[in-house]
Amino acid sequence: MLKDIIGHEYPKRIIANIIKNNRISHAYLFLGKKGIGKKKFAVEFAKMLNCYNLDFNNVSSCEKCISCMDVNLNKHPDILIIEPYNDIIHIEQIREIRDKISLKSYYKNKICIIDEAEKMNVEASSALLKILEEPVGNVVFILIVSNVYSIIPTIKSRCQTIKFESLKDEEILEYLKSKYNVSHEKEMYLVNMAEGSLGKVVYYIEQNILELRERVFDFFDNFGNKKSLIDLDTLRGERDDCEEELLDIFASIYRDILRCKFNKYLDSLINIDKKDKIVNYSNKYSVDSILNALSEINRIRVLLKSNINFELSLNSLLIGVV
């Protein structure tokens, strides 16, 4: 139910007014950074739009009617979710939407959720614009975007924009306490790494980033020995695809070292539970070398999609930072 979604009180009030006043637009644009719950929010909104026993006082779906149950089972015939294929939303996917909304709805409304809508190519954007220019009565579009400037203005102008802010640290912390059994220091690390994204913190936990981080700190502890070049297999452990997470961890450590170099904000270190280690590392690096390392990490991120030799790139970064 919508009330069970963490945070996003402003969008909840907007949706409540829409439902109570029955002033449903034919297209919405959910705008906010990736991983903060916009897609889940969109599905809950779609559920309410098709609920047969909607609680108007509490603005909540009943969770018991056949429509609500179909949503919860991910098999609702009138809710179509489109996502990028190979990082692009293609015209064929928009044509699929066009064909499906031309059919009679099985329940009340047809809801088309386009996740990462900014990844539509030119042809897909043009095709969607044509659909939005001739809205169908019981069809509602929800475009989910993190970069509004990648959406063509003519599409944006036909949507009601609802802005989603990053979650507050205390909201993510409350979620962690209710779902996971980790120490407070590790909770704070996860909150700091999440940067307001619940999706990111859940992903980190599922991917055992805490164990991965321990191996990275073990490497830093031994860095400078003759055999201090990175053995990627050792860092990865049982995982084969943790490049992004490794870069996130290295970046967090270098940022913390930079804070120590300026002797500021030591109580707000990302790796607050490793404060003593960070202070020790800070004596080994210059400010310029840390800034260069952070810049190199960003460069490696960009090149990850082009099948670079990640182990070689990471070792080059570390050699350059000394």
More confident residue, 308 or 201: 201
CB 172 within 8 A of CB 188: no
- Summarised one tens digit per residue, pLDDT across range 189-239 is 999 998 899 989 998 888 889 999 998 998 888 765 545 667 677 777 666
Per DSSP (E only), the strands in the chain are: 27-31, 79-82, 110-114, 139-145, 160-163
CB 258 within 8 A of CB 289: no
Phi-psi category of 208—alpha, beta or left, where left has phi over 0 and alpha has psi -120 to 50? left
pLDDT at 265: 67
List Cβ neighbours of 200 (8 Å cut-off, separation of 6 or more): 35, 193, 194
Written as six digits, the tokens of 153 are: 């203005």
Least confidently predicted of 9-18, 74-83, 222-231: 222-231
3-class DSSP assignment, residue 56: coil
- Summarised one tens digit per residue, pLDDT across range 154-186 is 999 999 999 999 999 999 999 898 888 888 888
Residue 215 to residues 59, 180, 211, 233: CA-CA distances in angstroms?
Answer: 47, 22, 7, 11
Mean pLDDT of 44-68: 92
pTM of the model: 0.83
- Summarised one tens digit per residue, pLDDT across range 19-36 is 988 899 999 999 999 989
- Summarised one tens digit per residue, pLDDT across range 110-158 is 999 999 999 999 999 999 999 999 988 899 999 999 988 999 999 999 9
Domains and CATH numbers, the chain: 2-163 (3.40.50.300), 207-321 (1.20.272)
DSSP 221-275: HHTTSTT-S--HHHHHTT-S--HHHHHHHHHHHHHHHHHHHTT--GGG-TTGGGH
Mean pLDDT of 68-89: 94
